Amino acid sequence: MTFKLDWRGKEVIKKQQKAAEQGLRDAAEHIGEQANRTAPIDEGTLRRSMGTDFDPDRLMSVVFYDVPYVERLHEASPGEFRFSDPNARVKWLELTLQERQKAIKDYLADALREGLR
């Protein structure tokens, strides 16, 4: 008995790479959107400064805020600042990342499954 197998490994790997990239981009956007819901707001500058970036060489997504005071505000102790928005909190990005771990995994799993089709 003989059979022929047409192995297209490089094609599959390339599809999975693209799928992983898309999943990481989607997950970063999701985290940024969710984090903005609890980011402190005064005039909205902080929330508008949220952005994402992707490094294809390291398969890594980043969520960032691009204002000079973000580190001081993010790393403050609870109660150190009074926020006008009752949903606002310190460490909003870190806490959102912890809270949304399942969603991140789901974004990546969905993207990888789609890449196999």
Q: How far is CA 22 from the centre of its chain?
A: 11
6 domain residue, yes or no: no
Cβ(9)–Cβ(16) under 8 Å? no
30 domain residue, yes or no: yes
What predicted TM-score, i.e. pTM, was given to this entire model?
0.85
53 domain residue, yes or no: yes
Q: What confidence score (pLDDT) does residue 91 get?
A: 97
Cβ(49)–Cβ(107) under 8 Å? no
When divided into structural domains, the chain yields a total of 1
- Tell me the per-residue pLDDT of 11-57, one tens digit each, with 9 for 90 and over: 888 999 999 999 999 999 999 999 999 999 988 999 999 999 999 99
